[in-house]
Amino acid sequence: MTAGARTSFPDLNLLAVIRSPSWTQVVRDAVCDIGVFPIRTCGARDAVFTLASTSVRYSHLLVECGCADGLLDTLVGLTDGSIGSNTELLLLGACTGAPSGIGVVRLADRSSVREALMVPPPARDVSEPLMQVAELRAALANSMIEARYQPIVRIKDGCPIAFEALARLNHPSLGTIPPDRFVPQIEDAGLAPELTELISACAFADMTGAGFTGLGLGITLNFPLDVLLQPEALNRLEAQRLAAGIPARQVVVELTESRPVEDFDLLRQSLNHLRGMGYLVAIDDVGPAVPRLAPLLDLPFTGLKLDKDLVQRIEHDPETEDFLRVTTAQAHAHGLSVVAEGVESRVILERVRAIGADYAQGFLAARPLPIGAVPVWLDGWRHTPAF
């Protein structure tokens, strides 16, 4: 087959975790049959760190069975479309227990590898999954919910300071579903307290594991307004934290405004309760659509997060840049730190640095990571140039 036979297929850019000379040669021969495309070969840990960020896009990750060094599940998670990845995972060799839906080339055969690389990537389903309340309850009860962790780094020196815990739903037929496609349904069904408690439990368990222990890194937990106003929800959070033995100062409770604040006095009581126990509290997704921002800033918050859609428009829209600059100044005047979410390029990084943001979160540093990728990312990040 020649390159001319695949005019509608996107260019290849391969990341390969391969050790054996036979698979190395077969892959290079197969790529030569298709055209001239780059191949980068590395170890499994380097592949995890590379896929965590978006500095280079790889069309395929090729992993020789037996070379994943215990990181196969992590690599599967980093090539999942739910985190915005367009990288297709292809396993090479006789793999036992390979995850379902992953392409496998069992024999070191040039034509088999070539044909596998020529298969167009599957269409990503971006439609809203229609899940009944019973399905949502089952997902919460039957370990279909997991946490992913996206780093938050200090802009002045690139130092990681915290991770935001983000929910993912692993549906048996719909696949991995990102939060914006199922969390609203959970909230509409009145199940937000259960989801919040579950993700908090996952985060605290993971914070006491190898990825976080002893590093002093914070964790950010999303609390919808309805949950944040429930004293029993805050008591459950405190019980979870105490059981895990994690200092409250390492936990940021982030208000996600699924509906406008109507009772500021009641919200102040909840925030004072959290602050009294030592927690930090922040406002999520701050933008022009957030009503009555001024009275929110007068409440005992410790930080706010700039809306990622606005941050991503900052390099093209002067009005957006002006809004974010003014909002950042207002936050600082109230003693709040500012996180710019959605930082996906160095141009955006420099713009949010210029407006005075303190921290950055986004694909430039890393995608939302499976817990197995956290220590690998931290180790790799320490050896990269600082922001």
Query: So what's the pLDDT on residue 81?
Result: 72
pLDDT of residue 94: 80
pLDDT over 70 at 103, yes or no: yes
The whole-number average pLDDT for the span 3-12 is 51
> Residue 372: pLDDT above 60?
yes
Is residue 313 classed exposed, middle or buried when 0-12, 13-18 and 19+ CB atoms within 10 A define those classes?
A: middle
Please write the tens of the pLDDT for every residue from 106-152: 999 999 999 999 887 666 555 556 678 888 888 888 888 999 999 99
Q: Is the per-residue pLDDT at 266 higher than 80? A: yes
At 6 the pLDDT is 41
- Asked if pLDDT for residue 267 goes beyond 90, the answer is yes
* pLDDT over 70 at 41, yes or no: yes
Distance CA(109)–CA(37), nearest Å, equals 19
Q: Map out the domains of the chain with their CATH numbers.
A: 3-118 (3.40.50.2300), 133-381 (3.20.20.450)
pLDDT at position 37 is 82
Q: Flag whether pLDDT at 1 surpasses 50.
A: no
How would residue 86 be classed by pLDDT, with cut points 50, 70 and 90?
Answer: confident
- For the cut 90, the answer to whether the pLDDT of residue 102 exceeds it is no
Kindly report, residue by residue over 160-186, the tens digit of the pLDDT. Answer: 999 999 999 888 777 788 888 888 889
> Helix and strand tally (H, E) in the chain?
15, 14
Q: What SS3 class is residue 62?
A: strand
Q: What is the CA radius of gyration of the chain?
A: 22
Across residues 225-234, what is the average pLDDT? Answer: 96
307-334 pLDDT, tens digit each: 999 999 998 999 999 999 999 999 999 9
In this structure, the chain runs to a length of 387
